[in-house]
Structure formats: C-alpha cells, structure tokens
C-alpha cells in the first residue's frame, strides 16, 4: 500500500517521481531525497498502469511528490488519478532553451526526460499545481474547443462559397455576386438537389451542387454553434455569476478567463501569478544602469486576448477609464503601453473575483474599473 509524505517517519526514504507522458505509455523515474536514482518504470496509460506506477514508486519508501510533464494533455488521466488519492502533483513545463542545450550534450530519451522532471521538482524549480479538470470549468473548456473548431470550419465554408461564386459560370455568377452572405446561403441552399446516381452534364450543374453543399454545411455549423452557445451560457452563469456581473464581461470573455484559471483557481497563489498566466505581467529587462520592463509574450494568449478586448471596451464607454487614459497619455505613455497597464489592472480585478475574495464581492456593486489617480498599474 502506498503512503503519502505525511505518513513518513525519520530515517525513511522520501521518494520523488518524475513522469514523461505519452499516448500509450508513461515512463517514471524515482529519486530519493538525496537525488540518487532509485529506478525506472514504464507503464501503460490505463488505470491499472497508474496503480502499477504508484505501487512501484511506493516500494522505495514514502512517495513525497510527483512531477508530470503534460498534465493537461497526455498526463491528464494520471494527474487526475494521483490527485484523487491525495498525492502532491507538480506540473513540469517543457524544457527551456538552456535545458535543451544540456539535452543536446546528454542526449534524449524518455527515462532522461522523466529524471529531469523529477530533479526540477526536487530542486523546487517548478512548483505549479495542475488544473483540476474535474468540474464545470473543464466542461466549459471542452465545449469552447468544439465551438472554436466549428467557427473555423464555418468561416472556411463561407470563404469557399465566395470563391466558387467568383469562378462560377457567367449566368450564375451575375445572379449571386450582389447577394450578402445571408442571402447567398438562403438562395443556394434552396437549389434543387442532385441525386447521387445522376450524371452531371455541365459545369453549371457541378457549380450548383458544390454551392448547395457548402451552404448546407454553413447552416449545420451555425446550428451547432448556436447550441453550444446555449450550453456555454448556462455553464458560465453557474460557474462564475459574479464574473458576469462585471460590466463588459460576457460569456466569451468569462469563459476564456475561467478556462485559464481552471477549476481550482486557488492554485494561483497571487494575482501576480494570474497576471503572469495571462501574459500581462511586465517582464524585467534591466541591465547595468538601464532599469526597464518589457511586454510579456508568454502566458495564455487566449486569456490575454480576453483582457485586451475588455480593456478596449472600457476605453470606449467607461468614464473613469477614459480619464485614466488621458492622464497617462499626458504623462508620455503610448496607447499600447496604456493598454498593457489596463490589462494588468483588469487581471488583478478578475483574480479577486475568481478566488471569491470578499473584497471583490463588495467592489462589484461599485463597478469602478480604474484605480485612483495616485495608484499606478504595474
């Protein structure tokens, strides 16, 4: 039977495991508290394989913590299994540039990657907790993924429809080119259907068949998107009603920020961590006598987009925000720099709501989107 670190006694071996995840198998490497390699194990990506990995690691001593690369993809099942059993799971990111330089010297293999994951966890280099992925936010993430795919396919169908109109026979092109998208879809969807066993005799018949197929595809995708929007609206309203109360935040922005934070936003230890996650925290870029910050290009770009849209909206309709923009413009800041400051402040405001801070609830009634003139958005 495996034991958590809370059951450890003095003198026992404390085990840290690193796992390199794949589609069909996971490779784990166990280290003791002194960094000595205890063993390597490859297991299938099944519940039985997860139990086998736990039993193997616990055989060396007290299982202290487990570092997994790809907790949101290939390692999602293992992560869920471990968290359900009360183990500490640390999310290990893919190697950075300096790590890849060491990899070129040492070579690459699954056991080496698993050992590297265990060592960065043991050294305290990475401490991030993975998303829980077991509640409503995970449902929102799944539906948003499907909706994004449907939107992309619908846009592609519309573009192909216009392209076919441009190259259609003259009599058909003259009839269809003046129409809007809605009118074009309605007209070509009503073309007479062609049976599969009917031979196409002219390019005009082939063009009508192709146009009708694209129009029907566009309609099916639109119906799918509308149905997903209904489900997403309900889920977001249930998961974060306080977030939707913020003026300017709709289902799309709220869903994006919820997915970025995950089902367990408490894993983000501060609003600065949430800002970094969204890619709106300025990165130090100082050297010598130069003291400055640069724009972060990391983080969740979809969450960054949501904060950008919210900032632009407030710049357009909110008086306090417009006063803030005027003041910072007079101070010499450019528009991109002002938007960066706004996004940083909005990340602070959103974080307080996501973690259900009492101060955030009281601020919702006031709905003051900008800090006082004496405050400076970092």
Stretch 183-190: mean pLDDT: 92
pTM: 0.77
Q: pLDDT tens-digit profile of 71-116?
A: 888 988 999 899 888 888 998 887 654 466 666 666 778 888 899 8
Give me the residues paired with residue 66 across strands: 17, 89
**Residue boundaries of the structural domains of the chain:** 5-123, 136-239, 242-366
Residue the block writes with tokens 């790590």: 99
Q: Are 80 and 98 in contact (CB under 8 A)?
A: no
**Residue 149 and residue 154: Cα distance in Å, rounded?**
9
How many helices (H) and strands (E) would you count in the chain?
Answer: 15, 7
Q: pLDDT tens-digit profile of 244-281?
A: 999 899 999 999 999 999 888 888 888 988 999 899 98
Through-space distance between the first and last CA atoms of the chain, rounded to whole angstroms:
50
Check pLDDT > 60 for residue 361.
Answer: no
Give residue 333's pLDDT: 87
**Residue 103 and residue 98: Cα distance in Å, rounded?**
9
Q: How confident is the model at residue 370 (pLDDT cuts 50, 70, 90)?
A: very low
Check pLDDT > 90 for residue 299.
Answer: no
**Residue 326 and residue 180: Cα distance in Å, rounded?**
40
Q: pLDDT tens-digit profile of 311-334?
A: 999 999 999 999 999 999 999 988
Q: How confident is the model at residue 235 (pLDDT cuts 50, 70, 90)?
A: very high
**Residue 84 and residue 54: Cα distance in Å, rounded?**
13
93 dihedral zone (left: phi>0; alpha: psi -120 to 50; beta):
beta
**Residue 78 and residue 313: Cα distance in Å, rounded?**
41
The pair of three-digit structure tokens given for residue 46, joined into one six-digit string: 């099944």
**Residue 327 and residue 318: Cα distance in Å, rounded?**
14
- Could you confirm whether domain 5-123 is CATH 3.30.420.140? yes
Give me the residues paired with residue 68 across strands: 19, 91
The pair of three-digit structure tokens given for residue 98, joined into one six-digit string: 């300096």
Q: pLDDT tens-digit profile of 170-185?
A: 989 999 999 999 999 9
The pair of three-digit structure tokens given for residue 316, joined into one six-digit string: 């357009």
């Amino acid at each position: 039977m495996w034991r958590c670190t809370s059951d450890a006694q003095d003198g026992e071996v404390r085990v840290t495991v690193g796992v390199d995840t794949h589609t069909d198998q996971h490779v784990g490497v166990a280290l003791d508290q002194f960094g000595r390699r205890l063993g390597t194990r490859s297991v299938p990506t099944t519940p039985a394989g997860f139990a086998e990995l736990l039993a193997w690691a616990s055989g060396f001593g007290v299982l202290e913590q487990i570092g997994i690369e790809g907790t949101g993809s290939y390692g999602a099942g293992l992560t869920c299994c471990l968290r359900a059993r009360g183990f500490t799971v640390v999310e290990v990111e893919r190697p950075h540039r300096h790590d890849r330089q060491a990899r070129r010297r040492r070579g690459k293999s699954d056991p080496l990657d698993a050992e590297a994951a265990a060592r960065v966890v043991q050294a305290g280099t990475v401490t991030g907790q993975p998303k829980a992925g077991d509640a409503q936010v995970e449902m929102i993430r799944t539906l948003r993924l499907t909706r994004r795919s449907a939107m992309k396919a619908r846009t592609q169908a519309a573009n192909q429809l216009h392209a076919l109109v441009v190259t259609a026979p003259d009599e058909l092109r003259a009839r269809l080119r003046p129409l809007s998208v809605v009118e074009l879809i309605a007209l070509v969807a009503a073309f007479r259907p062609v049976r599969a066993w009917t031979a196409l005799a002219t390019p005009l018949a082939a063009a009508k068949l192709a146009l009708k197929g694209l129009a029907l595809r566009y309609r099916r995708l639109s119906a799918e998107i509308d149905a997903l929007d209904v489900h997403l609206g309900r889920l977001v309203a249930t998961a974060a009603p306080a977030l939707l109360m913020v003026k300017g935040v709709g289902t799309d922005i709220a869903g994006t920020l919820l997915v970025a934070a995950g089902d367990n936003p408490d894993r983000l230890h501060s609003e600065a961590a949430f800002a970094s996650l969204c890619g709106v925290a300025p990165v130090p870029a100082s050297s010598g006598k130069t003291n400055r910050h640069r724009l972060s290009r990391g983080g969740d770009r979809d969450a960054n987009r949501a904060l950008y849209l919210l900032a632009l909206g407030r710049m357009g309709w909110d008086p306090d925000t417009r006063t803030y923009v005027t003041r910072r413009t007079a101070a010499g800041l450019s528009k991109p720099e002002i938007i960066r400051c706004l996004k940083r402040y909005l990340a602070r405001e959103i974080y307080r709501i996501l973690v259900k801070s009492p101060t955030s609830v009281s601020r919702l009634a006031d709905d003051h989107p900008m800090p006082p003139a004496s405050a400076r958005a970092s």
